[in-house]
Amino acid sequence: MEELLGNEAVRARIWRAADEGRMHHCYLFEGPEGVGKAMTAMRLALTVNCLSDHAPCGTCASCRTILAGTHPDVVVVGPDPEKLTRIITADQARAVITGLQLQRHSARRRFVIIDPVDALSEEGANALLKTLEEPPAGTQFILVTSRAASLLPTVRSRSQRVRFGPVAREALEGWLSARGLDPALAVLSAGSPGFALRLADGEAQERRDVVEQLLGVVGQPLHLLFSFSEAAGKRSEGSVERTTLAVDALEELLRDAVFVASGRERDVLHPTHLGALRVWAAALHPGGIGRLDKAIAAARDRLKLNVNGRVVLEALFTALNLELSQARRA
């Protein structure tokens, strides 16, 4: 089975706890997107339940059914991919609870992996609280998130936090090279193998295009910005992805502006836009960046609630234009 990349110390600690039979019944795996949190959760379920002496072997009956996603005692709960919203509903949460009332099928330890747990609706979280606190014997919860700050405190307080970090640059460069991919993606992805793979898969170009469009309309009369928001956010297939991409693009540009403001122009993601980034850095750093970061977090929350993408983007870009124009006036 392929070796997991990075976060060795974090994994060693959990595996030791598993060996010694003293795992916390509810872990919260938190850290950046794409650094292997969910893979680690799955690997733990494989290891604990493997029937061979060389766990996880990947070939025994337990490993095979877990890998196929058909093991009745290893449940992964996520948002319904058929739906536009990225929500884990209260019904899904109640189904988990009902499932746990049944006898364990064959596993040594039953796993419930909720990924991402920040998608759990408030009603769903409340339904699960008691079970998270005191799950049936032999049940292991693993909650996965890259947005721990947005979780309900009641969920956070019932779990043991396990923090994952980015993968070290050299390790990720080697991993990418071994796959015939550009090692420069290690820096572009900020140490996230998952994100690096997505970038290699063409998302990089798409994001560059959105950044280009965005910079073309920012600071222009509002109707241009609104037509961009309308095009990106109009309700149709893929609108959530397009809106998210526009929010991501803005976030990247703000991060670049921070690099420029702190004398690290070499580290920016979008060096072709250094001119614009210098203007943003001078106008927005640090107060405006902080306020816009909050606006971005709010935008992501609203998207999660299925608010129309156009409305979300309009609010966000209006805030951006306001910050830029106030700085110009000051």
Please report, as ranges, the residues that interact with Zn ion according to CB under 5 A: 50, 52, 57, 60, 63
Q: Which is nearer to Zn ion, 39 or 200 (CB)?
A: 39
Q: Distance between CA 253 and CA 248 in Å, rounded?
A: 9
Residue 107 C-beta: closest distance to Zn ion, Å: 12
Is residue 11 packed enough to be buried (19+ CB in 10 Å), middle (13-18) or exposed (0-12)?
A: middle
Q: Which is nearer to Zn ion, 61 or 224 (CB)?
A: 61
8 Å CB contact between 167 and 9: no
Residue 58 C-beta: closest distance to Zn ion, Å: 6
Q: CA dist 85 to 32, 158, 248, 307, Å?
A: 21, 26, 17, 9
Residue 38 C-beta: closest distance to Zn ion, Å: 19
Q: Which is nearer to Zn ion, 71 or 304 (CB)?
A: 71
Q: Distance between CA 261 and CA 191 in Å, rounded?
A: 22
Residue 43 C-beta: closest distance to Zn ion, Å: 11
Residue count (the chain): 330
Closest by CA to 111, choosing from 141, 134, 136, 84, is 141
Residue 61 C-beta: closest distance to Zn ion, Å: 8
Closest by CA to 246, choosing from 274, 275, 206, 187, is 206
Q: Which is nearer to Zn ion, 71 or 273 (CB)?
A: 71
H/E stretch holding 62 reads helix 61-68
Q: Give CA torsion, residues 138, 33, 190, 185, to 10 deg.
A: 100
8 Å CB contact between 66 and 39: no
Q: Distance between CA 303 and CA 152 in Å, rounded?
A: 18
Q: Which is nearer to Zn ion, 63 or 312 (CB)?
A: 63
Paired with 141 in beta bridges are 26, 112
Residue 263 C-beta: closest distance to Zn ion, Å: 52
Q: Which is nearer to Zn ion, 60 or 188 (CB)?
A: 60
Q: Which is nearer to Zn ion, 60 or 90 (CB)?
A: 60
Residue 237 C-beta: closest distance to Zn ion, Å: 40
Residue 60 C-beta: closest distance to Zn ion, Å: 3
Q: Where are the beta strands (DSSP E) in the chain?
A: 26-30, 74-77, 110-114, 139-145, 160-163
Q: Distance between CA 292 and CA 248 in Å, rounded?
A: 13
Q: Which is nearer to Zn ion, 50 or 74 (CB)?
A: 50
Paired with 27 in beta bridges are 142, 160
Q: Distance between CA 159 and CA 133 in Å, rounded?
A: 8
